[in-house]
Every structure is written in C-alpha cells, then in structure tokens.
C-alpha cells in the first residue's frame, strides 16, 4: 500500500519569498509522484510529476520538485512566490503497474503582499 | 477536447433522497475514479473502474454505487443521501497502468459540491 504525508496544512509566505511545501510518501515499490494545485472552486490541475529518470522535475508556473528516494520525499519549491500562487496543493503517489492514486491531506498556501 | 465533465456543479439534497452524479470523459481513458474531498482529509477514493463493465471499491465506498456501461461514462449514485455525504466530489480519468509509458497522471473534472440537509 502507498500513502502520502504533507507536512503543514497551512503555509504562509510573503510575495517574492521561497515557497517550500513538504511531501513524504511510503510505497513498497518505486512510485510515481505528483503535485496538483487546486484554485478555489476548481478541479485539480497537474503541476508536475515524477515517473522515472531525472529526479529534479520542473512543472508549470515556475514550480519544481525533487524526488529523494533515501528520504522518501518529494518536496515542492518555487524560488519566488507570486500572489497568484495562493491555492491548495496536493501531493499524490501511485505505484507503477497500479492505477490507484493516493493523496495527501493538502497544504493551503497563502501569499502575503 | 473537453476532458472530464461533471454535472451538476452544485446540488442540495434532503436526507434520504437519491441522486446520480454524472461524469464523462472524451480522452478514451480506461481508468476512471470517484473521489470525495473533505477539509483536512485530502481526496479519498470512493469507487473506480478499469474499463467498461468492471468496477471496484476504494477506501470509502459505503453509501455509493457505480456502474460503467461505456468507456466514456462513469456515474456515481447515492441511493439514500445522508448528511455525512456532504462533500465535494471529483471524477478523474487516466490511462490504465497496462499502458505505462503513456501519461501516468489523472485528469480531474471541476467537481460537484453536494450538500445533504
């Protein structure tokens, strides 16, 4: 079975500051890892994903995440926060060969002017 | 390309009423699933389907039924609504794991906000 833990249900940063959203996973086999973003009253939109290969993956809107197998982590970062980044972010894991996708509880990002 | 379409967007039910949440996708995805989203709990899997005629239970299936008569459609039925089913419901679709190498992510609909009073 696989599971995801997102550390911090709320994160607040100032505009222009570093964004760091933490995600740790557990999986018995090599995982596929995802970050999704949800804007108010909207569905989930894929930010980025890790499947195989390069462990540093870049996504949309300047976000990136690094897969660290030794730490079972997949933290999401952005060097400089923008007001438009305010949203809820979900980390998700899927095992290769399995359709079941499991989500973390989510982290709400607030960006202060 | 519409992606995943859910209807309705909002619904209010009385306890004991039944209803069907509709979900359709036009990407020829084999795998479809229903999640519910509750504050502080992320998304929890209700039911899923790996293809037409095949469905199975997820983490929180009680009180919900599904069927999959076509590749495109995957409706979710609430037979007798309860206040505990007040939630936001999302339908998602993706390629089957039998096709690894294709896109592995799930595509989501815009959600249905359901209130049971």
Site of tokens 């999986």: A27
Nearest to A99 among B94, B109, B111 (CB): B94
User: Is A97's CB within 8 Å of B45's CB?
Assistant: no
Could you tell me the pLDDT band of residue A95, with boundaries at 50, 70 and 90?
Answer: confident
Query: A83 preceded by cis ω (within 30°)?
Result: no
The number of residues making up chain A comes to 113
Q: Could you tell me the sign of the dihedral formed by the alpha carbons of A5, A47, A75, A17, in that order?
A: negative
Q: Between the CA atoms of B86, B92, B98 and B99, what dihedral angle is there, to the nearest 10 degrees?
A: -160
User: Is B109's CB within 8 Å of A103's CB?
Assistant: no
User: Is B100's CB within 8 Å of A9's CB?
Assistant: no
pLDDT, one tens digit per residue, over B62-109 is 999 999 999 999 999 999 999 999 999 999 999 876 656 656 789 999
pLDDT, one tens digit per residue, over A10-37 is 999 999 999 999 999 987 777 899 999 9
For residue B25, CA distances in Å to A5, A46, A107, B1, B77 come to 30, 17, 28, 9, 18
Q: How far is A81 from chain B (nearest CA, A)?
A: 23
């Amino acid at each position: 079975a696989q599971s995801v833990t997102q550390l911090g249900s709320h994160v607040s940063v100032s505009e222009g500051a570093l964004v760091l959203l933490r995600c740790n996973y557990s999986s018995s086999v090599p995982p596929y890892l995802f970050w999704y973003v949800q804007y108010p009253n909207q569905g989930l939109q894929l930010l980025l994903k890790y499947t195989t290969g390069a462990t540093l993956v870049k996504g949309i809107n300047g976000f990136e995440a690094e897969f660290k197998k030794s730490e079972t982590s997949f933290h999401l970062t952005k060097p400089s926060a923008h007001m438009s980044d305010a949203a809820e972010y979900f980390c998700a894991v899927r095992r290769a060969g399995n359709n079941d996708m499991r989500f973390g509880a989510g982290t709400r990002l607030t960006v202060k002017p | 390309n519409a992606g995943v379409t859910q209807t309705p967007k909002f619904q209010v039910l009385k306890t004991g009423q039944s209803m069907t949440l509709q979900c359709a996708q036009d990407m020829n995805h084999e795998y479809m699933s229903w999640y519910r989203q509750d504050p502080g709990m992320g998304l929890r899997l209700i039911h899923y389907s790996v293809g037409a005629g095949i469905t199975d239970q997820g983490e929180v299936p009680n009180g919900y039924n599904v069927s999959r008569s076509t590749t495109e459609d995957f409706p979710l039925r609430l037979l007798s609504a309860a206040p505990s089913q007040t939630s936001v419901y999302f339908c998602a679709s993706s390629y089957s794991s039998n096709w690894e190498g294709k896109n592995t992510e799930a595509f989501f609909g815009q959600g249905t906000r359901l209130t049971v009073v």
